[in-house]
Amino acid sequence: MAPSVHAEVERKYDVDAHVALPDRRALAQLPGVAVVEGPAEERLEATYVDTAGLDLAAHKVTLRRRTGGHDAGWTLKLPVTREERQEVHVPLGPADEPVPEELLDRVRAHVRDHPVTPLVRISTIRQVHRLIGDGGALLAWLVDDQVTATPLRAESGTSSWREWEVELTDNGGRELWDALDEVVGAAGATRSGSGSKLARSLGEGAPEPPPPARLSRRSPAGDVLRLALTTQVEALKTQDAAVRRGAGDSVHQLRIASRRLRSTLATYRPLLRDPDAAQSVRDELQWLGLGLNTARDTQVMQARLASLLEQEPEHLVVGPVGERIAAELTERFVAGLREGLTLLDQERYFRLLDALDALVGAPLTARADKPAGKVIDTLLERNRRRLLRAARRAERAGDREQRDLALHEVRKAAKRLRYAAETAGPALGKPMTKLARRAKALQDVLGEHQDGVVCRALLLDLAASATAHGESAFTYGRLHAHEEALTATQETAYRQALAALG
């Protein structure tokens, strides 16, 4: 059975033992509430699991097996905002069952190949009140929990506390949410500083991510680098989970995340005390990107060819062109995706993630302590000059094939400049936004050019395959000619975009 997924919108409150729940009449007068049901008692037993290094807790993620109550089973909770989490649920199996792989896959970028084992057992005696609206729709729960937490690894003893939770359903609105907050606050409850029962039970043992730095031109250049690395590493981990569950264009986004990191490490290399370690990580990120290429490039070509074919007059589509394109490219995509997913479960990939985590806090050079404005301006100018040198080499290219290869290098240089400007944006402001926009314009023009290069080669392959099966290659020739003509029109756009950076 596939996991069920829903959004949990919840607030937790600390409350002393003597404090009484809000009066039922006060609850019944809340916006939209027609009936207050309860209390109904539930006895819950939950075992939370994590790695030895508390890698889930470090990312405010919880994974538990719970018995009792209406939602018994395995539950993975992933943070969205302070008050919202994505909840992924798998029904209970035997008492000795392992952690479901479908849940571990969603946090594989955090746990990697490290085992997850029991961390804390939490017992809860819960009094549940249900707030019902007109027509019988459930609007919210108000629960009163008596909690006992027993560490399963540490030698410290149990801890106990009382807390209230208010959880909003899809039927409840913001007005009810805020009114409930006022009512429970008036009763003597205060907002909890812990986002989960597990976080409270861990206390000082719970790792806390550092707050993001506020940057300006006077900030140390190293702070800009650390913020960029932290943000980009987390983006890569997020897309890892998305690829594993087959979400949207997640393969594309994971490849972008790896390329951004490669660009950041190249641009900021002078700030890293161990540039050889950074280069090793860049090499491994390139390996990751190459492993994703087949799946992503096939997606791009499938969409491009479908668009081209749609523009063809019906009488000029000779033979099963659409069917052949769909069949062959779907086969390529499935094989490429399989290759990518296999790569994401390799030890080599997990060690890459370890190395990325280490780089976020890696020692920096003395230059990293200097103001970002001066240091990063110099680094970006170096990237800009690198781009212009690549453009001059493209001008000197001998034949068309060499020029296509050279323009691809210009595109990669434009992408590095764009990504570097975007990482500098939080410190250097609007000038970086303008530079990133201009670099992206050049990148887009050359991206269209490169897609045309790839598409023409693919059309030749498809035409050969069609011919081998006794089909007409006429339409593939027309599409190839269209791509040829499109390439010829891109020269002006390329020169304009390049001039804006020159």
Q: What is the pLDDT of residues 224-251, one digit of tens each?
A: 999 999 999 999 999 999 999 888 889 9
Quickly list H helices, 29-173.
Answer: 101-104, 108-111
- Burial tier of 82 (Cβ tally within 10 Å: 0-12, 13-18, 19+): exposed
Question: Residue 476 is encoded by which pair of tokens?
Answer: 């593939």
Residue 194 pLDDT: 86
For residues 103 and 85, the answer to whether their CB atoms sit within 8 Å is no
Average pLDDT of 115-136? 96
Average pLDDT of 15-38? 92
Residue 1 pLDDT: 63
**Residue 66: band (very low, low, confident or very high) from pLDDT cuts 50, 70, 90:** very high
Average pLDDT of 445-460? 95
Average pLDDT of 488-497? 91
pLDDT > 90? residue 204: no
pLDDT > 80? residue 210: no
Average pLDDT of 452-463? 96
Residue 372 pLDDT: 96
Instruction: Classify 20 in phi/psi space as left (phi over 0), alpha (psi -120 to 50) or beta.
Output: beta
**Residue 489: band (very low, low, confident or very high) from pLDDT cuts 50, 70, 90:** confident
Residue 208 pLDDT: 59
Question: Residue 253 is encoded by which pair of tokens?
Answer: 């986004």
For residues 49 and 110, the answer to whether their CB atoms sit within 8 Å is no
For residues 478 and 305, the answer to whether their CB atoms sit within 8 Å is no
Residue 431 pLDDT: 95
Give the percent of the chain with pLDDT over 90.
86
**Which residues share a beta bridge with 256?**
none
For residues 389 and 412, the answer to whether their CB atoms sit within 8 Å is no
Higher pLDDT, 148 or 203: 148
Q: Residue 480 carries which DSSP code?
A: H
Residue 157 pLDDT: 84
**Residue 212: band (very low, low, confident or very high) from pLDDT cuts 50, 70, 90:** low
| Residues sharing a CB contact under 8 Å with residue 9, sequence separation 6 or more, in sequence order | 83, 84, 167, 168, 177
Q: How far is CA 175 from the centre of its chain?
A: 31
Q: Out of 148-162, 302-316, 415-429, which region has the weakest mean confidence (pLDDT)?
A: 148-162
pLDDT > 80? residue 29: yes
Nearest-CA neighbor of 252 among 308, 297, 311, 282?
297
Residue 219 pLDDT: 95
Average pLDDT of 414-437? 96
Residue 53 pLDDT: 93
pLDDT > 90? residue 214: no
Average pLDDT of 448-464? 96
pLDDT > 70? residue 467: yes
pLDDT tens-digit map of 337-393: 999 999 999 999 999 999 999 999 999 999 999 999 999 999 999 999 999 999 999
Mean pLDDT over all residues of the chain?
94
Higher pLDDT, 406 or 153: 406
**Residue 211: band (very low, low, confident or very high) from pLDDT cuts 50, 70, 90:** low
**Residue 110: band (very low, low, confident or very high) from pLDDT cuts 50, 70, 90:** very high
* H or E, element range at 342: helix 321-344
**Residue 70: band (very low, low, confident or very high) from pLDDT cuts 50, 70, 90:** confident
